[in-house]
Structure 1
C-alpha cells in the first residue's frame, strides 16, 4: 500500500488527526507525512480543520479512491513517477516564502556507508547494472570509447540544454564539425563539454576517480566562461545561496575540500556502478564545490563509475529541464531523493537502450586492437602531428619484430579511415587533422 493510501486509511472514522498522530499511526516520518497531506489536500481527498493552534485532518466526504498517477501535477508523463516523487514535487511548488530555509547538511554524506547504505533501491541498481554492462572482460572505458562519437554530441547537447543553451541537436553536430565559436558563449559551452568528455574517456581508465580528474573536468567545462581563470578546477572560496539553501557560511575552503574528498572516497568504495554514479551525481550537485558549473560537472562525473565498469554511459537525453531542476531542489531543500531516483533510472534506461543497440551492432571488440590501444594512439599522433612516416614510427617501436608486423597494418587501416568526424578518440584537434588531410594524408 502506498503512503497516501495509508494516510487515507488512518483517517477513516469521525476523529480528525494531527499530522504527528498520523505519522505515529502509519509509522512514517512526520516531514514525509506533511508532504503527502499537502498533495491530498490539493486533490480534495482530505479536509483540514484548525483547533486553536493545532491543525487536524479528516477524510473528505465521498473521497474517491486515490489514483496512482495524477497527470495534472505537471511533470513529464513519460517518467513513471512514484507517489513519493509526486508528493515531493507538490511540496517544492509551494511559494518560496512557505518553504523552510536550510543549510548544507553534511550528515547526508557522513551517514552514508558504502555497500550498506543505498540511495537507489537495491533491486533497481542491480538490474540496471546487468542491463547496462558490456559483455565480456574488456579494459575500463571500452564501452564509452566504442560509442564516443554519438556520446560526444548527446551528452554535450543535453547537459548544455539543461543550462539553458539554445542550440539544437543538429546545430551541435554542425558546430562540432566546424569547431568555430565566433564568440558565441553557447557554442563555447558545447565545445567545452566535448573537450571535457574526450578528456574523461582518456583519463578515467588510467587514473580512475580522483579529485584531479574531477577538477580538470570542471576546468575544461568552464574554460572562458568564468571571469576569474583561477577559479577553474579550484574549490570555491565564497558562500553560495540557492533558493534559500546556504552552503558553508564559515570556513568555506577547508570544509568544502574535506567534504569533496569524502564524497569521492565513498563513491570509489561503492561496488555497484549504478549506485556509485547516482551518489556522485547527487552529491557533487548538492555540495557545490566550485564557483559555477557544478551541475555540469556532476553530470559528466556520474559517468566515471560507469566507464570503470564498462557500463553504458549516461547522456541525460530528453530530460525535461523543470523535472531536473525540481529533482535537484528536492535534494537541496529536503534531502529527499525520490524525484532524482525516478529521473535517473528513467534516463539511464534510455541510454542503455540507445547505446546497447550500437554495441551489439559493432560485435565483439578486436583483441589485437585493444592490446595496442595506447600505442596506436601515440603512433597516429606521430604521423598526423609530427608528420613522421608509418615506417619510421613502426621502426621506433619497442616491440618484437613479429608484433611490429601485426601493428603496421592496423596503424595503416586506422589512418585510412581517420577524418574530422572521428578524430577525438586519438586526442587530435580538428585543426591538426584538417591540416593533415589538406596535405594529402602523408604517411
Structure 2
C-alpha cells in the first residue's frame, strides 16, 4: 500500500527557532542554502512541483529548494540509508507512505515534530488514518500530507433502471439496493473475495481490528467476534455479484470487469473511473460516486486510508528550513492546489470543502473522516507480503469453518508481528 524510539527533545529555544521562518538566514559562507525534498513518483504533477518550488524560493530568499523524485520500488532501503547515515545521498524532507512511518520510527533517525504539529500545522484536525501511523507514545514523527481511500463507483443508468433513486446511506439500504441491482446477467456489485482492504473497513465498523498490541506483543484478532461480524457482512455483500472468491481485485482487474457495462458497483479509489471510461468511452458521464455506507446514516463506513506523510531525518543539514518546507506543503494554499490537481483528500478534515465540485474526490473526502490505518507495527509490511488474510477470506466465502480459518490467519499475523528480525 502506498497509498510507517527515537525522541529528539526540543528545548524551548530550539522549538522557538523551529517554528520561525528561516528564509532570511544565509549559509555559513553567506551564500544560499540548499534544501532537498524527496517526493515519490506520481505523487505530485510536474506543474505543481514547479509552482511550489518557485513560490517557496521567492518567500524564502537564500534557500535553494531541490526536489528529487524517487521510485517506490526499493524506497525503504534508500530512506533507511539516509536515516542511518550510510547513504551518499541526503535529504531534509522525505515523503513516505503513511503505513511505512512505523518502520522508520523503529529504525531511528527521525526528528520529532510534535510541537510544530500542535503550534503551526493544525494537528488537531489531521486525518486519523494519516496521523496515527506517524506517532508513537504521543510523539509525532510523520506529518500528514495527502490521503486517498476507497469509495463506491456506480453505474448511474443501472441504478435508475432498478429504481434506486439515490445512493444508499446505511449498510441495510446498501444491501437492499444491491439486491435490486443483482439480476440476470447484471451484477449488483463486483467484489473479489480477497479484497482485504474493504474487509478491514467492515471489521473496524464492528469495533474489531486486524491486530492489536497487548503488553508489548502483537496479536492477530480476525477470530474475535467483531472481526467475524465484519467478515459476515462482507460475505453477504460479495454474494450479490460474481466476483471470484479465490482472487483479489486485480485478478482480473476490477476496472476491466466494470467497463463491460453489466456491473452496477465496485469499491475502489475514484481514480479508477478514468480507467473505466478509457476502456469503455460509452460510460463517460454515467459513473457516480458515494462513500461506503456505515451501519447508521449519521456515520460513513470506515475505510483504509492510503496516502503519504512527510518526515525530517535527524541528519538534516538544516532542520529549520526543513520545517519551513513542510509548513508550506501543509498550508491551505498548497493543500488546495495539490488536492484539486491530483484529486486527493487534503490532510485535514477542515479542508474537505476544497474538493467540492469533483464528485469522486468529494465522496472520498467524506469517507476519509472515518479513515484508519493498518496496525502500527514496523512489521506490518511483512504481513501484507505473506498475507494470511486472503486465504482466510476465501475459506469463509466457500463454506469452510470461518472461525477456524480466522484463528489460523490470526496466529500467522501474531507470529510475523511478534517475531524478532
Q: Same fold (TM over 0.5)?
A: no
Larger RCO, structure (CA 8 Å, separation 6 or more): 2
More strand by share: 2
TM score, norm. by length of structure 2: 0.26
TM-score by length of 1: 0.25
Determine which structure has more spread, i.e. the larger CA radius of gyration: 1
Identify, as 1 or 2, the structure richer in helix. Answer: 1
